[in-house]
Amino acid sequence: DIARGQKLIEQRVPEVPPGLPSSLLERRPDIREAEQQVAATNAEIGVAIGNFLPRIGLTALWGGSSDNLSDLATGNANVWSVAAEFSGPIFRAGMLWAEYQARVAIWEQAKANYEQTSLRAFSEVSTALVARDLLRDERLARAEESKQLSESVRLSLVRYNQGLASYFEVLQAQQDLYPALFQLAETRMAELVSVIDLYRALGGGWKLGTVWLPASEDGA
């Protein structure tokens, strides 16, 4: 009804502060998940590289340097031959190298996914900002139209009360006004939804009252 529409029209829309930093997007769940995948796969590459290092005992029974370590340190043994004889992994048909390449491929895929997720986030923010600006301009135009039509209703009532016009003129003016108010309420609703979309795209909106723009050199 008209009363509910009027309440919707009067709803306050938060102003988007200038200078919002892109770091706000880091709170988005999809970006955080993609970032964690990159970190995890990067750590797995480190594990794969670490697997190339032969596993040998570094200390002997009483805590001194083991024979294997001493031989390696003095150059009396080949590290890979020692690895083959003891517990260290060896290059069997390139298995370790293939594993390393596979982990690098997974990391590159995770990095590409992170980049795509970030680009999608920026696109969603841009779309939400553009939609909000367009709907704000449309709402202002419809508000001006409704204001003029409301004035027409008021003047028609004045003319009717003075006996200068029939009540049909009043009804005609109201018939023009009410659809305009309904369209204004719809536009206001769409504008509010666009702000919600912007909040979601930013990963939770922004802190109202925060000045995001850097201060000028003169402190202004």
Q: pLDDT (tens digit, 9 = 90+) per residue, 141-186?
A: 999 999 999 999 899 999 888 888 888 888 989 899 989 988 998 8
Q: Does the model's pTM come out above 0.75?
A: no
For 57, 59, 63, 73, 77, the CA distances from 66, given in Å and listed in that order, are: 6, 4, 8, 11, 13
In this structure, the number of other CB atoms found within 10 A of the CB of residue 92 comes to 8
Residue 54 pLDDT more than 90? no
Q: Which of 13, 40, 188 is nearest to 113 (CA)?
A: 40
| Residue 96: per-residue pLDDT | 72
User: Which of residues 113 and 215 earns the better pLDDT score?
Assistant: 113
Going from the C-alpha of 150 to that of each of 113, 141, 175, the distances in angstroms are: 54, 14, 11
10 Å CB burial of residue 81 (0-12, 13-18, 19+) is exposed
Residue of 177, 153, 179, 156 lying closest to 166 (CA atoms): 156
* Per-range mean pLDDT, top range of 55-59, 71-75, 111-115: 111-115
Flag the least confident range among 42-51, 133-142, 167-176. 42-51
Q: What pLDDT, on a 0 to 100 scale, did the predictor assign at position 201?
A: 86
